[in-house]
A and B are shown apart, each in its own frame.
Chain A
Amino acid sequence: MTQTPIISVKNLNKKFGDFTANDNLNFEVYKGEIFGFLGANGAGKTTALRILCGLSKPTSGEINIAGFDAYKQTELIKRHIGYMSQKFSLYEDLTVFENIRLYARIYGMKSKEIKEKTTKILDELNFAHARNKKIKDIPLGWKQKLAFLTAIFHNPKIVFLDEPTGGVDPITRRQFWDLIYKAADEGITVFVTTHYMDEAEYCDRVSIMDLGKIVALDTPENLMKTYTAKNMDEVFIKIAR
């Protein structure tokens, strides 16, 4: 892995009135890395995520995302990232191709390129037959895979995944991670937020937030060693209790 930072966060603070949602966060994420951003509900993950996506501005700190400044260049940040959430991913009443085309056009891609790339990725997935099917008519596992491929269709530098694999069967879940590994191998940085610790074990490095602060940051393996835990669930419980 090349250790070129693609996300650089120095002394990030975010306050809402008297409430400190993000308390002096410091971390770097490298190009092509799969980075897990963990924490319980209310720990401050979403607040930080919104800043990293250019949707909200920090109160103080130096934050650089894909080469852009988090105060002044939020529009440029948005152009160079992809985002996939578990809850809202694709339009149910549009077909597979219509969804892809919509997202790709929003990011300014040309029609010809969209068509060619769609054919290529659907072929790779053995999913060409579903090109003109409505999203509501395809199985959940396929929706997730498509949502991911749509989020990286414009070849972003970073893709943010919000609780990506909840609820799918274990085989589909692994197919999904295969796509994530492939994207990372091709140089896309993958930033995963989750409170499902099992998922964290698939990441290269993870950070754990508690009460607005980052309380641990390392590879899952090292964290398990440090906290003499047999899995990330135990690490989290030891930190958060």
Chain B
Amino acid sequence: MENCSVSVKNISKTYKTNIALSDISFEVKKGELFGLIGPDGSGKTSLIRILTTLLMPDSGTASVENLDVISDFKEIRKKIGYMPGRFSLYQDLSVEENLNFFASVFGTTVEKNYSLIKDIYYQIEPFKKRKAGQLSGGMKQKLALSCALIHKPDVLFLDEPTTGVDAVSRKEFWEMLKQLKNKEITIIVSTPYMDEADLCDRVALIQKGEILKINTPKIITSEFNKKLFSIKSENKYRLINDLREYKYNNSVNAFGQHIHYTDINPKPDTDELYKYLREKGHHSVEIKKTEPTIEDCFIDLMK
């Protein structure tokens, strides 16, 4: 790959008998916003820890900005920013003290790279004398991101930055990432929230230490090869059970207020399905064709 920022080749990692990563390979381009999408325990954190030189793989090689994660680990550490899943700033230092500390550790100053963090930091600057431990969840997140960026890294690793934050903070955080993209920083972000995949340039869907699929969100959803229907009636629980008993059913999954349904026939007969559901006593049945989401694809690929 041209302009390759991160390269992973055949990486495997096992903890005792537990396989965390199984022969993983992929590349990330410079300036790309790349998402690792998968549930808890799928291997996201192990992968990020290997790329940030904090964990050794059992086998395989990986490089960040053409530096090897094992032999060049010291060099890599200067070039990357890392925001771990758990808030790991100094709770007893103030906002300002934390930021100055991280700048000085990397041999720089807040002033020198202020332009990079300005859009994020100005939101918490009014509270710069407050101890980090006393900030709200959203503000902690902004401070952690500022600290991870203050040395102007080439690559930024974010491990589940939006887990446990409310919808408003989540949205703000993704808006910040979009702005950073314009500053030519490669970003690798992990998340268990499938809906965040659409906000990435490319994503790897991960499950049980394996990559199920890797591509742009658009291509992944366009490759869903079945007609997907969104079905609704007044009793969701009975609707799920009745659809599962329908002889042509291929998959039945609850998606919020609706049921997502695929049929074993390439050209499903919705009239017959209406008829079946009416016979089962469902009223006000609604069957609509719908576009698959990343979550539909993930479920399909897991099977």
Do A and B share a complex? yes
Known contacts A167-B192, A174-B253, A198-B195, A237 near B302 by CB under 8 Å: no
B207 lies within 8 A of A201 (CB):
no
Q: Tell yes or no: B299 within 8 A of A by CB.
A: yes
A92-B299 Cα distance, complex, nearest whole Å: 29
State the Cβ distance, B241 to closest chain A Cβ, in Å: 9
Q: Tell yes or no: A120 within 8 A of B by CB.
A: no
State the Cβ distance, B243 to closest chain A Cβ, in Å: 12
Known contacts A167-B39, A170-B295, A202-B256, A237 near B168 by CB under 8 Å: yes
A185-B170 Cα distance, complex, nearest whole Å: 34
CB-defined interface of A146-172 with B at 8 Å, one 1/0 digit per residue? Answer: 000000000000000000001111111
Q: Tell yes or no: B182 within 8 A of A by CB.
A: no
A166 lies within 8 A of B192 (CB):
yes
Which of these, A139, A166, A182, A201, contacts B163 with CB under 8 Å?
A166
Q: How many residues of B contact A (CB 8 A)?
A: 33
A201 lies within 8 A of B257 (CB):
yes
Q: Tell yes or no: B261 within 8 A of A by CB.
A: no
A202-B38 Cα distance, complex, nearest whole Å: 21
B41 lies within 8 A of A140 (CB):
yes
A178 lies within 8 A of B240 (CB):
yes
A170 lies within 8 A of B137 (CB):
no
State the Cβ distance, A94 to closest chain B Cβ, in Å: 21
- Which residues of B, 118-175, contact A by the 8 Å Cβ criterion? 136-137, 163-168, 170-171
Known contacts A170-B194, A171-B299, A237-B167, A177 near B254 by CB under 8 Å: yes
A220 lies within 8 A of B256 (CB):
yes
A220 lies within 8 A of B257 (CB):
yes
A170 lies within 8 A of B302 (CB):
yes
B136 lies within 8 A of A181 (CB):
no
For A178, list chain B residues within 8 Å (CB).
Answer: 240, 254
B39 lies within 8 A of A237 (CB):
no
Q: Tell yes or no: A40 within 8 A of B by CB.
A: yes
A237 lies within 8 A of B171 (CB):
yes
Q: How many residues of A contact B (CB 8 A)?
A: 34
A236 lies within 8 A of B240 (CB):
no
Q: Tell yes or no: B15 within 8 A of A by CB.
A: no
Which of these, B168, B171, B254, B255, contacts A40 with CB under 8 Å?
B168
Interface of A is mostly: helix
For B164, list chain A residues within 8 Å (CB).
Answer: 166
B237 lies within 8 A of A201 (CB):
no
For B257, list chain A residues within 8 Å (CB).
Answer: 201-202, 219-221
- Which residues of B, 162-216, contact A by the 8 Å Cβ criterion? 163-168, 170-171, 192-195, 207
Q: Tell yes or no: A4 within 8 A of B by CB.
A: no
A232-B170 Cα distance, complex, nearest whole Å: 13
B236 lies within 8 A of A181 (CB):
yes
CB-defined interface of A38-54 with B at 8 Å, one 1/0 digit per residue? Answer: 00111000000000000
Which of these, A169, A170, A195, A220, contacts B167 with CB under 8 Å?
A195
Q: Tell yes or no: A72 within 8 A of B by CB.
A: no
State the Cβ distance, B45 to closest chain A Cβ, in Å: 12
For A220, list chain B residues within 8 Å (CB).
Answer: 256-257
Q: Tell yes or no: B40 within 8 A of A by CB.
A: yes
B256 lies within 8 A of A169 (CB):
no
- Which residues of B, 219-255, contact A by the 8 Å Cβ criterion? 236-238, 240, 253-255
A150-B299 Cα distance, complex, nearest whole Å: 27
Q: Tell yes or no: B34 within 8 A of A by CB.
A: no
Known contacts A185-B237, A236-B166, A168 near B171 by CB under 8 Å: no
Q: Tell yes or no: A110 within 8 A of B by CB.
A: no
A168 lies within 8 A of B39 (CB):
yes
A41 lies within 8 A of B136 (CB):
yes
B167 lies within 8 A of A236 (CB):
yes
A17-B238 Cα distance, complex, nearest whole Å: 48
A166-B128 Cα distance, complex, nearest whole Å: 32
Q: Tell yes or no: B102 within 8 A of A by CB.
A: no
B40 lies within 8 A of A40 (CB):
no
Q: Tell yes or no: A28 within 8 A of B by CB.
A: no
State the Cβ distance, B169 to closest chain A Cβ, in Å: 8
- Which residues of A, 193-241, contact B by the 8 Å Cβ criterion? 195, 197-198, 201-202, 219-221, 231-233, 236-237, 240-241
**Which A residues contact B (CB, under 8 angstroms)?**
40-42, 139-140, 166-172, 174, 177-178, 181-182, 184-185, 195, 197-198, 201-202, 219-221, 231-233, 236-237, 240-241
Given contacts A233-B170, A237-B167, 9 further A-B contacts (CB under 8 A): A40-B166, A140-B41, A169-B39, A171-B302, A178-B254, A236-B167, A240-B166, A240-B168, A241-B168
Top-3 shortest CB links A-B: A201-B256, A167-B40, A169-B39
18 residue pairs bridging A and B, Cβ less than 8 Å apart: A140-B40, A168-B39, A169-B302, A170-B39, A170-B298, A170-B302, A171-B299, A172-B39, A174-B253, A174-B254, A178-B254, A181-B254, A185-B238, A201-B256, A220-B257, A233-B170, A233-B195, A236-B166
